[in-house]
Structure 1
Amino acid sequence: MVRTLWLGGVLLLAPGCLSGASNLGAATTPVGTTEVGVSVNAIAFERGRERAYLPNPELNFRKGAGDDWDWGGRLTLFGLELGTRHRLVEGSGLTFSVAPSAGVWYVPVTNNSTEPVNLRLGAQALLDYRIDRRWTVTGGASVSGAFAGPLTAFQGRFEGSHLLASPGGSLGIAYRLSPSLELRAEGGFEVPFDVREGRRQTTGHAGLTLRWWRVDHR
C-alpha cells in the first residue's frame, strides 16, 4: 500500500529556483540495513545579473524496506526531503531505479524575494553502471512540478506565487572504500520553466558524499 501511494502521487517540496543534489545511486539499500551519509554540496544560482554560489551541507539516510525498494530522506540548511527508491531492472553491471520524494524548503536567497516557500512534485530516474566491484557511474534524469510562493500561502493568500516545471540531469561516480563505506561525487543541473512567464535561469550543483551502511539489530 505504501509503495502504491508513493508511486501514485508524492508531494515533493523543494527549491523552485535552486538546484539540489540527490546524492543517490540506483542500487537500493538491502532489507535489514540502514544507510547514513554526509554530503558537502555547492549550489550555483542566479543572483541579480550574476551567478552566485552557496554551500549546502546535508545529512541523509536510507533504510531497506523490501527486495526492490527502500525509503529515506535528507536534511539540508534549507529544509527536509523524504522519499522512496524503487529498483525496476537489474542486470549484468546495470541497475535502473526510480525515486519519487517529498519535502519542504525555505529559499531566501533567490532573485524573487516573494518566493521563499517552495513545494514540489517530481521523480528521478537513476541508472547505475558498475565498472567493477569498487567503481560505479550513475546517470540521473529528473522532472518536477513546483509551487513557489510567499509565506502568506500558509494563510491562503497566494499573491506573487508561481508554478514551475523543472527538468534536470545529473552524473555521479562512486568509489567503494570498503564493503560498508562509499565516497560519491556528483554534479547536475535543472532548467526551471515558469508556467506563465517562460524559462528561468539554469541552476546547478556539485558535491561529495561519504556514505556508510550498518546492519540493523533486532
Structure 2
Amino acid sequence: MAVMTSRNVAKTLGAGALLLVAPGCMSGARNLGAATTPVGTTEVGVSVNTLAFERGRERAYLPNPELTFRKGAGENWDWGGRLTLLGLELGTRHRLVDHSPWTLSLAPSAGVWYVPVTNNSTEPVNFRLGAQALVDYRLGRRWTLTGGASLMGGLAGPLTVFQGRFNGASVLVSPGGSLGVAYRLSPSLELRAEGGLEFPFDVREGRRQPGG
C-alpha cells in the first residue's frame, strides 16, 4: 500500500483501475492494518486477490483484484473503502489502543456487490454491514504482523431485490478471521500479504460452505 499526498492520488487511481479487469465479490481479507492513516494523507493500494469457494462438489477459484483507498480524517480515525469492477465497500477505522508494539483498531463497513458465480448456495446480489477488529504487532522497523476478527451481517438475493422483490433472498451472518504480514519498503510504500476466511450462516437454512 502506498502513502502519498493528494496530488499523486489521481495518477495512482488511474493506474490501479487498469488492474480491475475481472469482476469479483469482496474477499474475506480486508488488506488493512490497525494503524490509521495520518491526517491530511491519502493511502492508495492495489490488491491482487483470489477467492476460493465451493462450487458443487469441487473447489473453484475466482480472480478478485481490488483498489483500496484511505483518507486520514482525525488523530485516531480515517475513512475509505475498496472497489472492484462490480463491488464497493466503504467504512471507517478507529484506533482504540496504540501502545508500542501493539495497535488495536475497529473498522465498521458497509458494502454492495455482484457475485458472478452460479450455484445453489450463492446469490448474485449481496449487501453487507458489519465490523472488523484489527490488531497490529510490530516485529521491527519494517515488519508488522496483523490479525483480524470480523462479524458481518448481510442480505443476499437475486437481481429482483433491486425491484423490491425479496423472494429467494437469504439473511446471512458471517464471522471470520484474517492474518497478514506487512513489509515496509520505504516510508511511502508497503507490501502486504494476507489471507482470510469467512464462515457464512444462513439464518433460515443453517451453515454454508466457508470462503477465503
TM-score bracket relative to the smaller structure = 0.7 to 0.9
**Which range is displaced more, 126-135 or 153-162?**
153-162
Superposition pairs of residues 96-115 of structure 1, within 5 angstroms: 96-112=104-120, 115=123
**Match of residue 11 from structure 2:** none
**Residues 150 and 161 of structure 1 are in contact (CA less than 8 Å); yes or no, is this contact kept in structure 2?**
yes
Superposition pairs of residues 125-144 of structure 1, within 5 angstroms: 125-144=133-152
The alignment status of 1:42 with 2:50, answered yes or no, reads yes
What is the Cα-based RMSD across aligned positions, in Å?
A: 1.5
Query: In structure 2, the residue corresponding to 1:84 is in which secondary structure?
Result: strand
Superposition pairs of residues 110-125 of structure 1, within 5 angstroms: 110-112=118-120, 115-125=123-133
Superposition pairs of residues 54-203 of structure 1, within 5 angstroms: 54-112=62-120, 115-203=123-211
Q: Identity of paired residues, percent?
A: 81
The C-alpha deviation readout for 1:130-175, integer Å capped at 9, x for no partner, is 0111000000000011100111111111110100000000000000
Greater relative contact order (CA < 8 Å, ≥ 6 in sequence): 1
**Residues 198 and 210 of structure 2 are in contact (CA less than 8 Å); yes or no, is this contact kept in structure 1?**
yes
Query: In structure 1, the residue corresponding to 2:116 is in which secondary structure?
Result: coil
Report deviation, 1:49. 1.0
**Residues 97 and 125 of structure 1 are in contact (CA less than 8 Å); yes or no, is this contact kept in structure 2?**
yes
**Which range is displaced more, 134-143 or 74-83?**
74-83
Aligned length, in residue pairs: 189
Distance 1:158 1:29, change over 3 A: same
**Match of residue 8 from structure 1:** none
Structure-2 separation of matches of 1:77 and 1:191: 24
Query: In structure 2, the residue corresponding to 1:167 is in which secondary structure?
Result: strand
The C-alpha deviation readout for 1:106-133, integer Å capped at 9, x for no partner, is 0120423872110111100000000111
Q: What amino acid does structure 2 have at the position aligned with 1:164?
A: L
TM-score (norm 1): 0.83
Query: In structure 2, the residue corresponding to 1:203 is in which secondary structure?
Result: coil
Query: In structure 1, the residue corresponding to 2:30 is in which secondary structure?
Result: coil
**Match of residue 211 from structure 1:** none
TM-score (norm 2): 0.86
Structure-1 separation of matches of 2:33 and 2:57: 35
